Structure 1
Amino acid sequence: MSMPVRIDDQLYEQAKAHAHAERRTIAGQLEFWALVGKAALDNPDLPIEFVRDLLIARAEGSTLATEFVSQGKR
């Protein structure tokens, strides 16, 4: 369900620029930032970059995943 919300003009313009660069809608960019922020708050021991990358990887799904091949001793 979509809900209209008021946000600061500067935040909107930043989201607009990032959305264009990352091929998202402005709403999608704000939603992504909110998910990253919530996940970061829920997991304060993890670096924010890790949280961001994890959310991106989960959104990509298993179709883009590559199989892990160990390079260690067998």
Structure 2
Amino acid sequence: MATRSIRIDEELCKHAEKIGNAEHRSMPMQIEYWAKIGHLVLENPDLPVEFIQEILKAKSLRDEKEPFAFRDEN
């Protein structure tokens, strides 16, 4: 993933750091999360924000799991 430097208001950064710490995210990851939520809310105005958050949480948990592998008993 490519990264890019941008200017963000210091108050927003402080708030993102505070919330991010509580959510176990870094400040940049928290801002990225907010941007992702905002983007999805704008694309899906008929869905509640909480529903979108739960979908993202479930997706991240699914991505963290290792794929199941059958044991070869031969």
Q: TM-score, normalised by structure 2?
A: 0.79
Aligned to 2:41: 40
Q: Which runs of 5+ in 2 are unaligned?
A: 66-74
Higher CA-based Rg: 2
Q: Which runs of 4+ in 1 moved over 2 A?
A: none
Q: What is the Cα-based RMSD across aligned positions, in Å?
A: 1.5
Aligned to 1:9: 10
Q: Which runs of 5+ in 1 are unaligned?
A: 65-74
User: How many residue pairs get matched?
Assistant: 64
Please show how residues 41-56 of structure 1 align to structure 2 within 5 Å: 41-56=42-57
Q: TM-score, normalised by structure 1?
A: 0.79
Letter of the 2:49 partner, please give it: I
- Percent of pairs with identical residues: 36
